Amino acid sequence: MSETPAEVDVLIVGAGPVGLYGAYYAGFRGLRTAVIDVLPQLGGQVIAMYPEKPIFDIAGFPQVTGRVLIENLVAQAAPFEPVYLLGRQAVTLGYDDGLPTVTTADGSTIGAKAVILTAGLGTFTPRPLPAATGYEGRGLAYFVQRLDDYADKDVVIVGGGDSAFDWAATLEPIARSVTLVHRRDRFRAHRGTVAAVQRGTVRMLVNSEVTEVRGADAVETMTVRNTSDGVTQDVKAQAIIAALGFTTHLGPLAKWGLDLRTRHIVVDTRMATNLPRVYAAGDIAEYPGKVRLIAVGFGEVALAVNNAATVIDPDAQLFPGHSTDAAA
């Protein structure tokens, strides 16, 4: 665990892709930076939820997995030596002589000249699959960490949203078989992904639900009931992916006095919040016309850093010049 610095120029709360890019950009501007995250590893929700899933809407990358994206962002920021405070939760915000101070759950206090909130959706908890209670780590997973874990296995995916269909498409060529179980016959996933999965070999059990999971030491089989006619069938599987979504909340940030709109933080065109020297970027930020994409978050955190830089040093220029102009 990194030693907690007493003071930094910029404290970034959230170590997902937007926070990591913010660490690079703050370093590029010559600002001492620390990044804090309640999760024990860098990458935020990308690493926790879909490290092996291909991402297609990052500029300059026709396709990149979440894991590789995070590795590249960490390498990009590395020359500027940001301090990473992982497994720490930012709890309270105060001010000392007009400068923000953030206290963590372990009682440490970090002074900063600016704070940038890049906490994504906040903390998140997967919605459970009640029939599989007790099988966590024994065949039941809510997020896929390693594709190789599913090689030559019979996999059941429960859900009808983007994650369920993305995993079905990704695992189809890897697993022995893939079965998708959804309680309705309509899906929330992107139409193109649904069509691609339907053209493949994935078995679709719609208007259905998993009612029982069995196995001595790990998942072996389960009962699936058709909710329309009540007919049940046994489905063999060594792995279940419960892609049922997750619940989110801001946690302690909700008590900081920020201007909130439906669990998001309202910002202006500088990415500034209603609190002095506190900015927000990425999915957690809200303004008219907001589009929640990683690509959008990258631009937002650059705006936040550049505007914070002029508050930290009133003589600093808002636009620092292009990175190509910097000395190699």
DSSP for 13-62? E--SHHHHHHHHHHHHTT--EEEEESSSSTTHHHHHH-TTSEE--BTTBS
| Residue 75 shares a structural domain with residue 104 | yes
| Residue 107 shares a structural domain with residue 174 | no
Mean pLDDT of 6-14: 95
Domain membership of residue 268 (yes or no) is yes
User: Per-residue confidence at 6, pLDDT binned at 50, 70, 90?
Assistant: confident
Strands in 239-242's sheet, in edge-to-edge order, are 140-141, 239-242, 154-158, 177-181, 203-205
Residue type for position 180:
L
Residue 37 is labelled as binding a ligand: yes
Domain membership of residue 317 (yes or no) is no
| Residue 13 shares a structural domain with residue 80 | yes
Domain membership of residue 324 (yes or no) is no
User: Domain span at residue 21?
Assistant: 7-124+247-312
Asked whether the predicted pLDDT for residue 326 surpasses 80, the reply is no
**Is the CA virtual torsion 179, 180, 183, 186 positive or negative?**
negative
| Residue 232 shares a structural domain with residue 252 | no
Mean pLDDT of 206-229: 96
| Residue 73 shares a structural domain with residue 218 | no
| Residue 117 shares a structural domain with residue 256 | yes
| Residue 36 shares a structural domain with residue 48 | yes
pLDDT at 258: 97
Q: 279 - beta bridge partners? A: 116, 272
Max mean pLDDT among 5-9, 69-73, 138-142 falls in 69-73
What three-state secondary structure class fits 316? coil
Residue entry with tokens 């990415």: 271
User: Would you say the pTM of this structure is higher than 0.85?
Assistant: no
Asked whether the predicted pLDDT for residue 197 surpasses 70, the reply is yes
Domain count, the chain: 2
Domain membership of residue 170 (yes or no) is yes
User: Per-residue confidence at 32, pLDDT binned at 50, 70, 90?
Assistant: very high
pLDDT at 327: 59
Asked whether the predicted pLDDT for residue 56 surpasses 80, the reply is yes
| Residue 59 shares a structural domain with residue 196 | no
Residue 143 is labelled as binding a ligand: no
Share of the chain above pLDDT 90, in %: 79
Domain membership of residue 1 (yes or no) is no
Q: How far apart are alpha carbons 205 and 177 in whole angstroms?
A: 14
Q: How far apart are alpha carbons 216 and 219 in whole angstroms?
A: 8
Determine the straight-line distance between the first and last CA of the chain, rounded to whole angstroms: 31
Domain membership of residue 97 (yes or no) is yes
Query: What's phi and psi for 34, nearest 5 deg?
Result: -125, 145
pLDDT at 1: 53
Give the CATH number of the domain where residue 186 resides.
3.50.50.60
Q: 223 - beta bridge partners? A: 212, 234
Q: How far apart are alpha carbons 328 and 325 in whole angstroms?
A: 9
pLDDT digits (tens, 9 = 90+) for 90-138: 999 999 999 999 999 999 999 999 999 999 877 677 889 999 999 998 9
Residue type for position 216:
A
Residue type for position 104:
T
pLDDT at 322: 87
User: Per-residue confidence at 48, pLDDT binned at 50, 70, 90?
Assistant: confident
Residue 238 is labelled as binding a ligand: no
| Residue 203 shares a structural domain with residue 286 | no
Residue entry with tokens 């890019």: 21
pLDDT at 263: 86
Query: What's phi and psi for 13, nearest 5 deg?
Result: -105, 105
Domain end point (choices 200, 217, 244): 244
Share of the chain above pLDDT 70, in %: 98
Domain membership of residue 113 (yes or no) is yes
Domain membership of residue 280 (yes or no) is yes
Residue type for position 321:
G
Asked whether the predicted pLDDT for residue 71 surpasses 80, the reply is yes
pLDDT digits (tens, 9 = 90+) for 201-214: 999 999 999 999 99
DSSP per position, 98-143: TEEEEEETTS-EEEEEEEEE--TT-EEEEPP-GGGTT-BTTTEESS
Domain end point (choices 229, 244, 259): 244
Q: How far apart are alpha carbons 74 and 76 in whole angstroms?
A: 5
| Contact call for residues 271 and 182 (beta carbons, < 8 A) | no
| Residue 21 shares a structural domain with residue 40 | yes
| Residue 119 shares a structural domain with residue 255 | yes
Residue 187 is labelled as binding a ligand: no
Q: How far apart are alpha carbons 237 and 149 in whole angstroms?
A: 13
Q: How far is CA 277 from the centre of its chain?
A: 25
| Contact call for residues 241 and 157 (beta carbons, < 8 A) | yes
| Residue 266 shares a structural domain with residue 120 | yes
Q: How far apart are alpha carbons 11 and 19 in whole angstroms?
A: 10
Asked whether the predicted pLDDT for residue 328 surpasses 70, the reply is no
Residue 185 is labelled as binding a ligand: no
